[in-house]
Amino acid sequence: MARPRKFDENESIEQALGVFWKHGFKATTPEALLKAMGIGKGSFYATFGGKRQLFLRCLRHYCDGLANLLQSTLAEEDVRKGLASVRDIVIHSACEQRTGCLLYNTASELSPHDKEIEQVVKNAMSRNESIYVKRFRKAQHDGQISGNKNATTLARYFVACFAGLQLMGKADPDAAARLRAVANLAIDSLI
């Protein structure tokens, strides 16, 4: 008879996510995961299957949270204020926390080499783009953005802009003021 699990699986995923986010997939060892999760090898492999399977669960969990955060942040009545909040979150995670975005970190580390992970990344980026499109269309309807601008193109522009800010901020943590100016220029382009 199998012993019942004595750990919170969701909490373990959160702990593992933090390790993957800080170190990346390749540099994360199974030992570091076990230590962070506070579980033994047997529970680890029985529950999660292995490092890659756990990473996929963590990545999907992260992408769900990212989409929820983006949607709630952009729900601000003034679309520019919502985008300014996204800007602040991006710059904080890149320049102050030095973690960047797990989605974009994964895109550069693993997508070129792993088709399944590449698909998870594509799906998450597409979902985030759709959140922007929906918000920009509402802003156009409300008269906050010119109706002459293509909402899909604007969405892709902001996804690319914020991804680039993540990368630049991780490379130069002292660049926060410069990155804020770049983001402000992007936000001003909505007028």
CATH at residue 87: 1.10.357.10
Query: Is there a domain that residue 180 lies in?
Result: yes
- Band of residue 7 on the pLDDT scale cut at 50, 70, 90: confident
> By the 8 A CB rule, do 151 and 136 touch?
yes
Kindly state whether residue 43 falls inside one of the protein's structural domains. no
In a domain, 18, yes or no: no
Give residue 1's pLDDT band: very low, low, confident or very high (50, 70, 90): very low
HEC per residue, 74-106: HCCCCHHHHHHHHHHHHHHHHHHCCCCCHHHHH
- Domain-located, residue 100: yes
CA distances from 81 to 41, 63, 84, 127 (A): 47, 23, 5, 21
Domain contains 15? no
- What are the tens digits of pLDDT across the range 175-188? 999 999 999 999 99
User: Six-digit token pair at 106?
Assistant: 């994964």
User: Which backbone phi and psi does 189 adopt, to 5 degrees?
Assistant: -70, -15
How many domains is the chain partitioned into structurally? 1
Q: Answer yes or no: is 4 within a domain.
A: no
Cα separation, 36 vs 58, in Å, equals: 14
Give 51-99 pLDDT, tens digit per residue.
Answer: 999 999 999 999 999 999 999 999 999 999 999 999 999 999 999 888 8
Domain range for residue 184? 59-188
Residue 114 lies in a domain: yes
Classify residue 130: in a domain, yes or no: yes
